[in-house]
Structure 1
Amino acid sequence: MPALLAVDLGLRTGLALYGSDGRLRRYGSHNFGSAARLRRGVSAVLAEPGDLEWVYIEGGGPLADIWMREAERRGIIARLVSAETWRRAILYEREQRNGDQAKRVADTLARRVIVWSGAPRPTALCHDTAEAILIGLWGVLEVGWLDRLPDDLRRW
């Protein structure tokens, strides 16, 4: 099954892998510790899900360049996305007034995505992982694997 990987960029990187059914397959974070270790590790991360077609990356700069180059080398379509872009599509305006508030809401919504997807529930969910889950949710909507936000994830 084709897959999409969402990345909340940093030396401590949040990761979320989605299947073409739009559901979260797995998620987690990885602390690379340095740009050199990230450079070596990105190849393994992109190689693991053998059916990876898309990578959505929140962030920019030299660390993003590492992910973009490796994705291109592997023939994986990579997209850079800003936090403002995916938050506008998934969160209410009132939930985006400041970064701390947006991170709290992201945690709650990410937990709902985990339950909806039938993925194992976390004992703890780092904010970088929660944001990767929502970047990926936005990505599967963007590539058309989901037509709209599922009813179980909609908030009235």
Structure 2
Amino acid sequence: MNTSNTSDHFLLSVDAGIRTGLALFNNHGQLVWYRSHNMSSISGLRKAVYPLLKSIDGLEYLIIEGGGPVAETWIHTAGKLGITAIKTDAGEWRRDMLYDRQQRSGTKAKQTAIKMALQFIRSSDAPGVNIPTHDAAEAILTGIWGCYKAGWIARLPDLNK
């Protein structure tokens, strides 16, 4: 996947699980694409990670939300490819992006993530092909947070409007 016509460097955000949310950002903090994939098994995930990461020219950062063997597969593969991997959890990025009342339950946080991701998609040049699943929505928000942590954007956008 040649993405170098938009920017030189990219950040891929992953809501890690068998059902995986993905969001790709350029080094200006702009969303390039987002999607959700059902990897069906750990074995399927392991087969998919390397070709996916390898296909993104200029991939500099991988932000992983999650843990266990699924997250470790992403982190290990990123290391082999020289990609900086940053592992986080939902509690960390949500603290910076959601109000306390929006994260009182996992269900509420996921609903809020979808609303905020839609607002981000609509207020940018991002390809708004469909309403993101909660996995893709959380990957979008984690990616925004990752762009901020990488210094690619000066501040987090207020998506609580």
TM-score normalized by the length of structure 1: 0.94
Q: Which runs of 5+ in 2 are unaligned?
A: 1-7
Shift of 1:60: 0.7
Residue-by-residue CA offset, 1:24-56 (whole Å, 9 max, x unaligned): 110001111011111010011101211100000
Shift of 1:136: 0.2
The 4+ residue runs of structure 1 with deviation greater than 6 A are none
| Map 1:7-156 → 2, pairs under 5 A | 7-150=14-157, 153-155=158-160
Question: Contact 1:4–1:54 at 8 Å: present in 2 too?
Answer: yes
SS of 1:37's equivalent in the other structure is helix
SS of 1:141's equivalent in the other structure is helix
Shift of 1:154: 4.3
Partner Cα distance (1:99, 1:106) in 2:
10
Partner Cα distance (2:159, 2:74) in 1:
31
RMSD: 1.2
SS of 1:117's equivalent in the other structure is coil
Residue-by-residue CA offset, 1:103-141 (whole Å, 9 max, x unaligned): 111001001111233112133321100000000010001
Residue-by-residue CA offset, 1:81-115 (whole Å, 9 max, x unaligned): 01000000001111111111111110010011112
Question: Contact 1:8–1:132 at 8 Å: present in 2 too?
Answer: yes
Indicate the larger mover: 123-132 or 101-110.
Answer: 123-132
- Report how many residues are paired: 154
- Larger helix fraction of residues: 1
